[in-house]
Amino acid sequence: MQKAIRASSLSFSYQKGRPVLEDIDFEVESGDFLGIVGPNGSGKTTLMRIILGLEKPDEGDVEVLGKGVSTFDAWDRIGYVPQKYEREQHFPATVEEVLELEKIPEEPDFGREDIIDMLDLESLLGDKFIELSGGQQQRVMVALALIKNPEILILDEPSVGVDIQAQEEFYEFLDRLNREHGVTVILISHDVGMISEHTDKVMLLNRSVCCQGETEELPELMEMAYDDEFKVFHHMGGHSH
């Protein structure tokens, strides 16, 4: 089966600084729901940016949907919701305008109605994007990523600043997208509780890959990371729920 993503021996540093990523190996199978967990500054965002071709690794290779990232040219097959986006760029558009709804194809699998329905956006369509709450804006950004009907959806800390109830619904939505529509989901989070509840596989990252495996093994993996002196994971585990 074709891998969604394959990275081997990746290393990266910004300018001449200390390496941010060292000797990273990992694979994502099509249909996976992978959580990437790690403390702030552990290189999670940088790793995603390399996979998306936004940064070039100093060493190593990345393949996206079976093709080398430098020659990959089907970026509409990938949806990306970055942690930080320019809210102002949508000023003062309504949600409907931001989404440019007429561009969403009406397909039987998941088209315009499904996206709006799944993300509960119907009542917000006429509202100004910048006046929405953080969680509502996040849902619009996810909708925007889904418009292209991507095979892989990458989300970077999607629930920061979103209340718990809205988070639960959002993660349930991601579960459905993965299970019912076969979308490969890669979720970056520092929320170990959410990761353990919703993903199938996990990778613990702290400049290098501490360990990876099935999510049900997460407690043991965190213990291993702790034994490897990645004490910060133990600390993070203590805050999971």
Which of residues 1, 16, 40, 84 is near ligand ADP by CB under 6 A? 40
Considering only the stretches 1-9, 33-41, 59-67, 124-132, report the one whose residues sit in contact with ligand ADP under the rule CB under 6 A.
33-41
Secondary structure class of 172 (helix, strand, coil): helix
Number of residues that bind ligand ADP (CB under 6 A): 10
Query: Quick one: 85 or 148, whose CB is closer to ligand ADP?
Result: 85
Cβ neighbours of residue 131 under 8 Å, at least 6 residues apart?
none
In whole angstroms, how close is the CB of 107 to ligand ADP at the nearest point?
33
b/e code 47-76 from CB counts within 10 Å (16+ = b): bbbbbbbebebeebebbbbeeebeebeeee
Cβ neighbours of residue 101 under 8 Å, at least 6 residues apart?
112, 125
Please report whether residue 14 would count as binding ligand ADP according to CB under 6 A: yes
Cα separation, 187 vs 190, whole angstroms:
10
In whole angstroms, how close is the CB of 121 to ligand ADP at the nearest point?
27
In whole angstroms, how close is the CB of 177 to ligand ADP at the nearest point?
23
Strands of the sheet with 78-81, listed across from one edge = 78-81, 152-156, 184-189, 33-37, 201-206, 208-214
Please report whether residue 158 would count as binding ligand ADP according to CB under 6 A: no
Considering only the stretches 35-43, 59-67, 121-129, 195-203, report the one whose residues sit in contact with ligand ADP under the rule CB under 6 A.
35-43
Q: Which of residues 41-60 bind ligand ADP (CB under 6 A)?
A: 41-46
Binding site for ligand ADP (CB under 6 A): 14, 20, 38, 40-46
